[in-house]
Chain A
Amino acid sequence: MSTLLDDRTEARARKLATAPIAVSLSGVSKTFRLPHQRYSTLKERALHPFRSRTFDELRAVQDVNLDIRQGEFFGIVGRNGSGKSTLLKCLAGIYSADTGTVTVSGRLAPFIELGVGLNGDLTARDNVMINAVLLGLSRQQAKERFEDIIAFAELEDFLDLKLKNYSSGMTVRLAFSVSVQVDADVLLVDEVLAVGDAAFQQKCFEQFQRLKDQGKTIILVTHDMAAVERFCDRAMLIEKGEVLSIGDPHDISRAYNELNFGRLQHEGVERGRSGDHAAAEIVEAWFESGGERVGALAQGEHLEIAMRVRFHDTVENPIFGFALRNEMGHTVFATSSALRNLETGTFHAGDQTVVRVGVEHRFAPSLYKLTPSVARAGAGADALDMREDLTQVMLHATVTSGGLIDPEHTFEVERG
């Protein structure tokens, strides 16, 4: 990374640290009551007036304390059903919080989703006007900004087409273009970046950058960790209604990935076994990090690949090997004791050994499958046991580069 960029980030961080607080939540909780038996008709209510009304409580948001400073780009991430949207609705004032207070300085955009109130039976022209008024512009302002809106959406040729004949991408473009015209100091955005084609996404990103430069406070709810890292100054991870952590976007997106992948049990589906595994047998293979077996790991951490081998006969200098394949089936990493010219020694019947390989996780994010092998030394490398795709690990990263591996590297631009 260039130092120029770091300087800018630092300057921004310094500026933000002293900025006044724009949005403040203290002790915000929201609980929904889910009745076991819902009386949705008057008849039922009248027929069973004394039937006890039992219900479950769903604690959608629990005791959230949060201060967002003016001009900050703040990300809220969490898995489905974690309470992100409920929190956003409490913030937007669509739900009332059960306890706690939400304080917002400045004008808060009244919507949390794009395209609220668009009507398929009306033309784009009518829809722009209606939508603009719904989102808080006056009719006069809406008229003045009409040209800008249409130009930004690049829909000049389709003005008099009914919206139901628009493609979904076009509709989203229209909706986004209207919403960025809204005068608000605090914007709430719920999942927006996943739509539109690449060119329009780029435009959205640029618009975000502009809003950021204008000092607007933006709160973004998303699953897109790349967007979080790219835009957010800070982020928050929420799970089961509780705030797990608030902090640096990079740490938060890593924590998010761990939350997602950490729960999956990565028992591989063994694809095939070669060798008669009479003399030596691979009992199990696994991944380790920090002394613990893991099913998922974040980029940049130390990864250990291990297998346990049991011998049923005497084997001299066996060759232990590992191969790591990604989802596409490419072998991205392979090593063996023979390649490293390692003397492994002599094993006898009943012996057991654990073989470990340590490697920095610099792989592209993917699901990796491990094929451990034991072979007899000598020409021909006669396989004693090889278990294809015996186990697997989810290696995740917060940013996808597109390369197969992401090694540490330097990057310089020199003039002349």
Chain B
Amino acid sequence: MTTVATRAPSARMNDPRRLLSLAWTLAYTDWKLRFYGSVLGYVWTLARPFAFFGVIYFVFTEIVNLGAGVRFYAPYILFSMVLFQFFGEITTQSLTSLVHRENLLRKMRFPRLVIPLAVVITALLNLSMTLVAVLIFAVIAGVTPHWGWFELPLLIVLLCMFASGVGMVLSVLFIRYRDIQPIWEVFAQMLFYASPILYVATSVPEAYQRPYVANPLAAIFTEVRHAMLDPTAAGAAEAIGGWPRLLIPLGIIFGCFALGIWAFRREAPRIAEHL
């Protein structure tokens, strides 16, 4: 029999299997509940990005003509919107996740990291389902599948790290300051227009382009365009002006992730009493 001193639950604790099975159980339950009792189920996951996409596409090609000269403009908008939605889902869900799971946190001892991890898993489940439709759409629009597509998982991992890092910071802040939620909503809205979603990064004036791509979202979406849709379009490295400079968006991504982990681990033992 082993002797363990019980301490307050840390972020991780020492059983990765339990961490994963708990996170998976919570995530899967949430994901399942989302469509429970709805007839259309899966279709609803697609409805939002596709409906939004339809409007945007009409406005920006027919009225404003922003997509002039951009190959595969339509699939690009769809891709970047779905990826941004993924980023938005992780951050906003993480934000309220701890308060939302109050009942569990106050009544049970388990690694606290389960909570943000479950948010990420749910978002990944949703993303994988929409991505299938997006890829089909891209092929219909004339994109030919090629080796570059294998870069997508890596880009999603980077996006995931960025989003969960930001999400973890937000989640612990939200326990103390309840106005983080509206603040973040405004901020996310700003980020939406400040990132190349409705337009492409290369159409940003030359003078701003390099600092513009320092935004991790801009770098990722630009690379997605290069890897997934149009290999002739500039990738993230080219848009920012050389490989070494890519360290800036990458640094921001890893920095956010590290900050998120640090903040979360620091607060983890006391989450239950501050709720």
Q: Which residues of A contact B (CB under 8 A)?
A: 32, 39-43, 45, 89, 91-96, 101-106, 108, 110-113, 116-117, 119, 121-122, 126, 130, 133-136, 138-139, 185
Contacts and interface: CB of A to CB of B under 8 A. Distances in A.
Contacts of A43: 179
Contact of A40 (B17, B104, B178): B178
Interface in B158-183: 176-180, 183
Nearest to B30: A119
Interface string B138-176: 000000000000000000000000000000000000001
Given A45-B177, A106-B1, A96 B7 contact: yes
A116 B103 contact: yes
A111 B110 CA distance: 9
B179 A92 contact: no
Given A110-B109, A130-B29, A96 B269 contact: yes
A96 B270 contact: yes
Contacts of A110: 108-110
B6 A108 contact: yes
Contact of B103 (A45, A95, A117): A117
A162 B8 CA distance: 34
B275 to A, nearest CB: 11
Interface string B1-45: 111111111000000011001100100010011001000000000
A93 B29 CA distance: 26
A101 B5 contact: yes
A121 B8 contact: no
B273 interface: yes
B106 interface: yes
Contact of A96 (B8, B29, B110, B180): B8
Contacts of A105: 1-4
B214 interface: no
Contacts of A101: 5
B1 A94 contact: no
Contacts of B9: 93-94
A102 B6 contact: yes
Nearest to A102: B6
A111 B8 CA distance: 13
B33 A121 contact: yes
Contacts of B103: 116-117
A103 B104 CA distance: 23
Given A41-B179, A101-B5, 9 more contacts: A42-B180, A89-B106, A92-B6, A103-B3, A104-B3, A104-B5, A111-B108, A119-B29, A130-B29
Given A95-B273, A133-B25, A116 B5 contact: no
A122 B103 CA distance: 17
Contacts of B6: 91-93, 102-104, 108
A28 to B, nearest CB: 11
7 contacts: A89-B272, A94-B8, A94-B272, A103-B5, A108-B109, A119-B33, A133-B21
B273 A93 contact: no
Contact of A41 (B21, B33, B105, B178): B178
Contact of B104 (A102, A106, A116): A116
Nearest to A92: B109
| Range for the number of chain B residues in contact with chain A | 35 or more
Contacts of A106: 1-2
Contacts of B36: 121-122
B177 A94 contact: no
A134 B105 CA distance: 12
Contacts of A45: 177
A133 B27 CA distance: 13
A42 B5 contact: no
A117 B111 CA distance: 15
A279 B4 CA distance: 77
Given A94-B108, A110-B108, A138 B21 contact: yes
B273 A32 contact: yes
Residue of A32, A91, A130 with most chain B CB atoms under a 10 A cut-off: A130
Contact of B107 (A32, A39, A111): A111
B41 to A, nearest CB: 15
Contacts of B22: 133-134
B25 to A, nearest CB: 5
B274 to A, nearest CB: 10
Contacts of A32: 273
A89 to B, nearest CB: 7
A116 B108 contact: yes
Nearest to A190: B107
Residue of B9, B107, B177 with most chain A CB atoms under a 10 A cut-off: B107
Residue of A43, A45, A93, A139 with most chain B CB atoms under a 10 A cut-off: A93
Contacts of B183: 42
Interface string B171-204: 0000011111001000000000000000000000
A315 B90 CA distance: 91
Interface in B96-117: 103-110
A93 B177 contact: no
A122 B33 CA distance: 8
Interface string B237-275: 000000000000000000000000000000001101100
Contacts of B177: 39-42, 45
A126 B30 CA distance: 12
A415 B5 CA distance: 54
B179 A42 contact: yes
Contacts of B1: 105-106, 185
Nearest to B29: A130
Contacts of A39: 177
Contacts of A119: 29, 33
Nearest to B103: A116
Question: Which 10 A-B pairs give the minimum distances between C-beta atoms?
Answer: A96-B8, A93-B6, A41-B179, A42-B177, A93-B109, A116-B107, A110-B109, A133-B25, A113-B107, A111-B108
A111 B109 CA distance: 6
